[in-house]
Amino acid sequence: MLDKNHRFINYLRLSITDRCNLRCIYCMPDEGMSFIPHSEILTYEEMLHFVGLCAQKGIRKVRLTGGEPLIRKGVIGFLERLCKVEGLDEISLTTNGVLLKTFAADIKNCGICRINVSLDSLKSERFFRITGRDYFERVYEGLDEAEHVGFSPIKINVVAIKGVNDDEILDFARLTLEKPYHVRFIELMPVGEKNIWMADRFISTKEIFKRIETIGALQAIGQNPLDGPAERYALEGAKGEIGFIGALSNHFCDNCNRLRLTADGHLRGCLFSDQETDIKTPLRESRGDSYLLSLIDHTILNKPKDHGLVKSGPRKCTRPMNRIGG
Ligand code: SAM
């Protein structure tokens, strides 16, 4: 379905929980977090029903996110059922990788071939400092297991933060020489309750690109329609790729094809806009599919033209990232 700005909306990011087993400095504070009560979180049944309606409206790709999707009880059974929803072409998952070693084979067996693993450091101590948890080894073993069971490609998302992990940009780039990973550098975004957002922490993808070019030329790789917003490159002779997601500096709102469903059943047209449509209440009041379909239409039609951060500068969303679904 087309929105008012002639964008074709075919991608749903589905948050299945607001809880997480990490406490990344830019995302969730270690203390004082309140979580959505379980009764307010959509059940798997409710999500499946709603995804089926989204598929009727042209959604073809669904990505599970959170919080950390792999910590929700019963996630594998849910994935199995999600993979059977008629009309979907691709189902993928974003995870911090902590539970990947346990679940990689099951996820693959459900029919999911694409996973993104968020990993901001290749150093155990640094990982602990960023995430508040000593799970680096687990994540690394999870990546190995994912490779072993045949996930391809495995995308590694790195949020580059000046003074925190930017000295590892070249190490991440070099990793693509040895491993078939698609390492994607993501700009730090001004969301999150603890919000360490500060202009002097921000590194643009342009700056990251320049730093990587000091170790070798980056060759552009042709985009394909399912690539999403990353600009893709590779170092010569690399097994993997390097992607750049300039969410702020090079915003891709003109081509944004996404909707987001929060774990508590609110449909959003933009990560940065607090405009959302309550889906849970009508779902639970059994208002009927045609009403729910009209709410999807409404959200698509009113999808914000852009996130506005380039013009207005950084601002905080009311909901933190774990409650929206990153
Ligand atoms: N737990 C899963 C994971 O780690 O991928 C899914 C949810 S997490 C919120 C999704 C992504 O959002 C992660 O790659 C995380 O690094 C990113 N993220 C969270 N807060 C961010 C921020 N303020 N700026 C940029 N990326 C952020």
pLDDT tens, residue by residue, 47-76: 999 999 999 999 999 999 999 999 999 999
Q: How many whole angstroms separate alpha carbon 88 and alpha carbon 294?
A: 20
246 lines ligand 1 (CB under 6 A): no
Confidence of residue 310 (pLDDT cuts 50, 70, 90): low
Q: Which of residues 156 and 321 earns the better pLDDT score?
A: 156
Length of the chain: 326
Residue closest by Cα to atom 10 of ligand 1: 326
Q: Which atom of ligand 1 is nearest to the CA of 26?
A: 23
C-alpha 291 to ligand 1 mean position (Å): 32
Q: Are 104 and 79 in contact (CB under 8 A)?
A: no
Q: Does position 209 have pLDDT exceeding 90, yes or no?
A: yes
Share of the chain above pLDDT 90, in %: 76
What pLDDT, on a 0 to 100 scale, did the predictor assign at position 266?
A: 97
Q: Which atom of ligand 1 is nearest to the CA of 157?
A: 14
Q: Which atom of ligand 1 is nearest to the CA of 247?
A: 25
Coil, strand or helix at 173 = helix
Mean pLDDT of 228-249: 92
What pLDDT, on a 0 to 100 scale, did the predictor assign at position 121?
A: 98
Q: Does position 130 have pLDDT exceeding 90, yes or no?
A: yes
Mean pLDDT of 195-208: 82
Residue closest by Cα to atom 22 of ligand 1: 189
Confidence of residue 160 (pLDDT cuts 50, 70, 90): very high
Mean pLDDT of 13-22: 97
Q: Are 261 and 267 in contact (CB under 8 A)?
A: yes
CA distances from 310 to 77, 196, 246, 253 (A): 41, 19, 12, 11
96 lines ligand 1 (CB under 6 A): yes
C-alpha 285 to ligand 1 mean position (Å): 33
**Given the structure tokens 């009113």, which residue do they identify?**
302
Q: Which atom of ligand 1 is nearest to the CA of 187?
A: 25
Confidence of residue 37 (pLDDT cuts 50, 70, 90): very high
186 lines ligand 1 (CB under 6 A): yes
Choose one of 14, 19, 24 to mutate for the ligand 1 pocket test, by most ligand atoms within 8 angstroms of C-beta: 24
Mean pLDDT of 78-93: 96
What pLDDT, on a 0 to 100 scale, did the predictor assign at position 257?
A: 93
Residue 63 pairs with which residues in a beta bridge? Answer: 13, 92
Q: Which of residues 154 and 1 earns the better pLDDT score?
A: 154
15 lines ligand 1 (CB under 6 A): no
pLDDT tens across 241-273, in order?
Answer: 999 999 888 777 888 999 999 999 999 999 888
Q: How many whole angstroms separate alpha carbon 18 and alpha carbon 320?
A: 9
Mean of per-residue pLDDT scores for the chain: 91
C-alpha 27 to ligand 1 mean position (Å): 7
142 lines ligand 1 (CB under 6 A): no
Q: How far apart are the first and last CA of the chain?
A: 23
What pLDDT, on a 0 to 100 scale, did the predictor assign at position 109?
A: 97
What pLDDT, on a 0 to 100 scale, did the predictor assign at position 33?
A: 83
Strands 90-95 and 61-65, by their bridges, are parallel
| DSSP result, 217-244 | PEEE----TTSTTPEEEEETT-SSEEEE
Q: Are 66 and 13 in contact (CB under 8 A)?
A: no
Q: Which atom of ligand 1 is nearest to the CA of 322?
A: 9
C-alpha 159 to ligand 1 mean position (Å): 8
Choose one of 92, 96, 166, 319 to mutate for the ligand 1 pocket test, by most ligand atoms within 8 angstroms of C-beta: 96
Confidence of residue 195 (pLDDT cuts 50, 70, 90): low
Q: Does position 323 have pLDDT exceeding 80, yes or no?
A: no
68 lines ligand 1 (CB under 6 A): yes
Q: Which atom of ligand 1 is nearest to the CA of 191?
A: 23
C-alpha 314 to ligand 1 mean position (Å): 17
Q: Does position 114 have pLDDT exceeding 80, yes or no?
A: yes
Q: Are 40 and 145 in contact (CB under 8 A)?
A: no
